[in-house]
Amino acid sequence: MIKIKEYVMAESLEQAYELNQKKRNCIIGGMLWLKMGSRMVPTAIDLSNLGLNTIEENEEEFSIGCMTTLRQLEQHEGLNSYTNGAVSESVRSIVGVQFRNLATVGGSIFGRFGFSDVLTCFLALDTWVELYKGGCIPLAEFARQKPDRDILVRLIVKKHEDKSVYLSHRNSKTDFPVLTCGISLREGQIYTAVGARPSRAVCLCVSEADWKKKGSEALAGELAAQFPTEGNMRAGKEFRSHLAEVLIGRGLKQIEKMQEV
């Protein structure tokens, strides 16, 4: 059970950052995963009044505020048109609509959860994170870092002529994923992210020319072998490794079909 001693509605990012420097204080995202734990939070810091709950689009990028909900991602026409529906697909099986109306992008990404569909999907895209003190860095770099006391302000998705897909496997419809897979083709490169291994997602890159030379099935096998897996209550190590090959292969074939249109 979570016990909160003081709840502060931040008036600025600077105020939120200063409050968050105390180790036991906590930035409130959707607070949904926080509720699963048991801890005392001296000061809970809410960013809801800072205008960080929108998705903005221009010719070069999408800017996604950290307080944007997963439901907003699911329903945003521009983002889902650009990603060929991959973003919507990545969140549609996360619990239920009520949950997705509360869970935030910032909470999902900053937590670097191994089971995160959202992290896997955005890793395959050209995604950057804007940190209040740390500036803008690639999402892949951020995902490798250990959590600190900075604040994730927004995600920035750079626009290219991407062709993207997202796939996952679950034992039941709204369960945590057994494995997640995001693939994006852009500027002659194939970016493949695999998560829920059960550790956090990582992304590998190969050339489109290499893909065409080897074919989808052979490349899927080679890529899957480079993603370490482990077993847990949802699946064993061998099954996850096999599933990685299957999902990567399916994703590459879907992108092949997109190229034919």
CATH architecture for residues 163-260: 2-Layer Sandwich (3.30)
Rounded to 5°, the CA angle 127-101-179 comes to 55
Answer whether residue 155 shows pLDDT above 60: yes
Q: In angstroms, what is the C-alpha Rg of the chain?
A: 18
pLDDT score for 98: 85
Give the tens place of pLDDT for each residue, 62-105: 999 999 999 999 999 999 999 999 999 999 988 888 889 889 99
- HSE-up of residue 220 (Cα within 13 Å, Cβ side): 21
The domains spanning 53-158 and 163-260 adopt the same CATH topology = no
Handedness of CA 202, 91, 43, 12 (dihedral sign): positive
- Enter the tokens of residue 155: 């995600």
Does a cis peptide bond (omega within 30 degrees of 0) precede residue 198?
A: yes
Answer whether residue 261 shows pLDDT above 90: no
Length reported for the chain:
261
pLDDT score for 220: 98
Give the tens place of pLDDT for each residue, 184-232: 999 999 999 999 999 999 999 999 999 999 999 999 999 999 999 999 9
CATH architecture for residues 53-158: 2-Layer Sandwich (3.30)
Summarize the confidence of residues 240-253 as an average pLDDT: 98
The mean of the pLDDT values for the chain is 93
- Enter the tokens of residue 134: 């740390």
Coil/strand/helix, residue 105? helix
| pTM: predicted TM-score of the whole model, two decimal places | 0.94
pLDDT score for 150: 96
Q: Report, in this order, helix, strand and coil percent for the chain, each rounded to 5.
A: 35, 30, 35
Summarize the confidence of residues 117-123 as an average pLDDT: 97
Contact status, residue 192 vs residue 213, Cβ threshold 8 Å = no
Give the tens place of pLDDT for each residue, 37-62: 567 889 999 999 999 999 999 999 99
Give the start-to-end residue ranges of the domains of the chain: 3-45, 53-158, 163-260
Summarize the confidence of residues 232-252 as an average pLDDT: 97
70-102: b (≥16 Cβ within 10 Å) or e: bbbbbebeebbebbbebbbbbbbbbbeeebbee
Contact status, residue 42 vs residue 5, Cβ threshold 8 Å = yes
Q: Which residue has the higher pLDDT, 1 or 246?
A: 246
